Structure formats: C-alpha cells, structure tokens
Amino acid sequence: MSPYAPYWEACRRGELVIQTCTACAHRIHLPAADCPRCGSTALTWASVLGHGTVHTFTVVHRSFVASHRGREPYTLAWVDLPEGVRVFGSVVGCAPEDVRIGLPVTLTFEDDLPVWRPA
C-alpha cells in the first residue's frame, strides 16, 4: 500500500488529514513518506477541523497542468490551520481578485480534492 493512501482515502470520505511525526512532532502537508524535519518514518494521521486563513496565494493565468488548462485564472493558496499546520490547495467560490492574505476559508471537496471557499 502506498504511504499516501490514507490521505486519498480520507479525501474520498470528505475529510482532510495531516501527518504528524511521532519522533519530533512536526506536522506535515502535503503527505510524505518520511518527516522532512528529522527523517523519521514514524508518522501518524489526524483529521483537521476544516477552516483556516489564507497565508499567501498566487493566481495562475497559464497552467502547466494539462487537466487545468482552460480553467484559468484560478487561485492556489497556502492556508494556515488552527492545528498549527499550513496546507496547500485551490481557493474556489470567488473571483481571484477577491482572495487576500488573511481571508477566512473553509474546507470543501471537488472531485475528491480538498479545496477552500471563503468562509
């Protein structure tokens, strides 16, 4: 089984999970096979509440991802969660020009992928 399988299984259930390293307590997103801080492979999974604030973002006007071509412009953001981890994802449900640093967002899923909507 892939070390990333629990992440994708949770997404299919409409749940976002993050990893925590049991050796150094570092929280990890996007999923990894080992801790980027200490290298341990002792990682656990935990659900997050599903709300946060935009830390930073970019608006994509020309996608290098074939499946996203024709959807431009779209917004990608790093979102700070109250659980103490920063997660990556798309911001949907608003125009790119309405996204700002500090914008409160809430989790939803589209095609089993976690995305963020303005709260």
- What is the CATH number for 90? 2.40.50
Q: What is the pLDDT of residue 10?
A: 97
pLDDT of residue 26: 96
- Could you report the per-residue pLDDT of 69-107, keeping only the tens digit for each? 777 899 999 999 999 999 999 999 999 999 999 999 999
Which residues constitute the domain of residue 93? 51-118
What does the pLDDT read at residue 57? 98
Residues 43 and 55 in one domain: no
Q: What is the pTM of this model?
A: 0.88
| Beta carbons within 8 Å of 11's beta carbon, 6+ residues apart | 109, 112, 113, 114
The per-residue pLDDT for 68 is 66
Residue 91 has phi, psi (to 5 degrees) of -105, 125
> Are residues 113 and 89 part of one domain?
yes
Residues 112 and 61 in one domain: yes
Q: Is 111 left (phi over 0), alpha (psi -120 to 50) or beta?
A: left
Q: How many folded domains does the chain comprise?
A: 2
